Structures are given as structure tokens and as C-alpha cells.
Homo-oligomer: A and B are copies of this chain.
């Protein structure tokens, strides 16, 4: 299979569109805003083949292909985006942007506040999934798109896809909510809270004012390690590591990193601190904690919230995902069905846990392709009828 080749991240300054600041769900205002994004494929004449890909907690705008300057590191969903792939760039114009509050080019707590000349740090306002989506809406306008063929994402990306369908129904023909949920459960809030606590407890954190100094890498690493436990399943951990020791056969009877699973987590923690901003971790996990579409759109009723949906909905869960378990997707599906919405739902049998949405590419590909093709056709028919 081919891929999209060398790509470049582009930057949109909302102020170039005359948008100097935006109002957030909290009521706070923030601006100026820069949005880092990438595009793959070509927008067709009718502007009806555009797909927005939304990234998860630790993702960025670089979803597919390779960056020239840092060699051959592929985008985070390169397996799913490209010619002939699930999101087929021979057919579709695929867009991905870094979220508001992020640390990979879009304005976030590590960005310079032009009013002070210093990074925002904790003076950056607390944001929501809705705020992230609002910024993506401006990107859509900038690209000359009036309606996405689909907005798609896994995990926190799926929350954004769902939020798009609720917040901007007129701009979303279909939405794909993958390995995600309509609200963060107390267990997930708990894991996020402990991760944030680890960061905040790191003396290097310095109330968020660590830029240009030693970073709170120990705290961020612990947060990431906790995260990775929740991304795997018990079965996948058994298969991948079992009780294997790292590079030896006998117990060392000390506190060195000893089991293979410990070594994996330490490695993941270390890799993460080299590329991710600790304050962004705080902001983005908090946005997830706040996510609850029943509360926001249905006065507590998920069924009532789902009334607002007019997009075709595609939902995918994975059997061994215990972070956002199939039951949480099922709740969304039930509420959509109760409102007679156009719903497609698959629960893929997989041992990979939450990470499955990035790993079960083969199983996902035909499901996603078929849904996008039918959405494309149905939308075309709708337009003929309307014309």
C-alpha cells in the first residue's frame, strides 16, 4: 500500500480571517489563535469529499505521510489515511489539525501570550471539547468547506466527532465515533486526575511556569505510564509481556526495572516527555473530564441530546477496550436508535484494548470505506433532489 508521501504542516492564523479572539464555553476569551493542520488528497469541485480527522489525547496534526525534516516518522494514523486506505486520499480530501490547548503548533499553554511576551502557562483558559471543535470550524471555513463528508476520530477524537455532530449539525454529513464515549466515566476521570496530580506534584512543575527551565518530566512520565496501562488490555499485556523479565532470567531482588512490562512503561514515559508539554496534558485531560453530551445537550438525558443529531452516525467499539468500553458506545447507539437516527455500529472483537483503534487497521478498513462510500453517494442523491 502507498502512503501520502512527504507532507508539511500548515498554519492558519484566525486573525487573518478577521477572528481576533473566540469566546470559550467557560465564557473566557482567547486570541490570537494559530491552528496547525495538514491536508492529504484533493478537495473536489463540489467540495463534498472533505473529511476531518480529529486526534486523541497525545496526537497532533501530523496524521499521515512523512515530514521531510525529521526523516521518515509516519503520521500517527498513517495506516488508515492514504491511497486505497480506510480514509482513501485518492477519493477524499483529508484534514487533520492539532487541537486548541495542544502543544504541536496550535495555540495552547506553551504558546507565547502576545500581551506578556511569555508562555501562557496556567493563564491559558481551561477549554472543552466544544472549544476545540469551534476552532476546527474556523479551519473548515478557511478551507472553503461548508460541510464535511465526515468528521472522524478515535478516543478523544471520537468525542470531537460527536461534538461536531451536535454543535454544528448543518456542517457534518456524517460522523465517525471510534473507541470513544458520550461522557467520561468516573473511572476515567479518576485516572486523569491521578495523572494530573503526578504532574502537579513534580517540583519542576512550578505552578506551570517551567518553560525554559527543567520540565516536570517525572510527573509527566508517570501520567503517561498510567495512561498506557489503560490503553492496553489485560489479555494484550499477557500476550505482549506476561511475567517476562527484561534481559535476565532471575529476580534481581532490588528496585531496578525488572519486568518487561515495567520496562515498556518506563520507555513510553520517557519517549513522551521528549515530545509533549505537561501543561497541555493538564488542559486536554480536563477537557475530556468535562465531556458529557447528555448534560450539555440533553439536560441529563442522552436520548434527548441525540435528538439534535442530523448526521449519519458510525460508531465503532472494541471488545477488550476497558477505558471506553463497548457498553458506553452501546449507550450512544441505543439513544440514537431511540430517536430513529441513521446509525451504523460495530463492536470489533479484539484483544488490543483501547489501542485497538490504531492497531486493528485491517478490520476497520472495509467498515470505514463502506460507510464513507455510502455517505458520499447518499449525500450526492440528497443534493440532486434538493437541486
Contact = CB atoms under 8 A, between A and B. Distances in A.
Nearest to A122: B255
Interface in A186-219: 186-187, 189-191, 193-194, 196-198, 200-203, 218-219
A126 interface: yes
Interface residues of A, number: 57
Interface string A242-272: 1100000001011101111110011000000
A229 interface: yes
A43 to B, nearest CB: 36
B194 A286 contact: no
A237 B201 contact: no
A251 B289 CA distance: 10
A126 to B, nearest CB: 4
Given A186-B237, A189-B243, A194 B255 contact: no
A255 B286 contact: yes
A132 interface: no
B185 A197 contact: no
Nearest to A201: B218
A369 to B, nearest CB: 33
Contact of A197 (B222, B251, B258): B222
A253 B187 contact: no
A185 B222 contact: no
B292 A243 contact: yes
B194 A222 contact: yes
B193 A259 contact: yes
Interface in A262-308: 262, 265-266, 282, 286, 289-290, 292, 295
Interface of A: 26, 28, 122, 125-126, 183-187, 189-191, 193-194, 196-198, 200-203, 218-219, 221-222, 225-226, 229, 232, 234, 237-238, 240-243, 251, 253-255, 257-262, 265-266, 282, 286, 289-290, 292, 295, 322, 325
Top 5 closest A-B pairs, CB basis? Answer: A201-B218, A26-B253, A126-B253, A186-B237, A193-B262
15 contacts: A122-B255, A125-B253, A126-B253, A185-B243, A186-B234, A186-B243, A190-B229, A190-B261, A193-B257, A196-B255, A201-B221, A203-B203, A226-B226, A255-B282, A255-B286
Given A187-B237, A190-B237, 17 more contacts: A125-B253, A126-B254, A185-B243, A186-B237, A186-B238, A187-B232, A187-B261, A189-B261, A193-B261, A194-B229, A197-B222, A197-B266, A198-B222, A201-B222, A226-B226, A243-B292, A255-B286
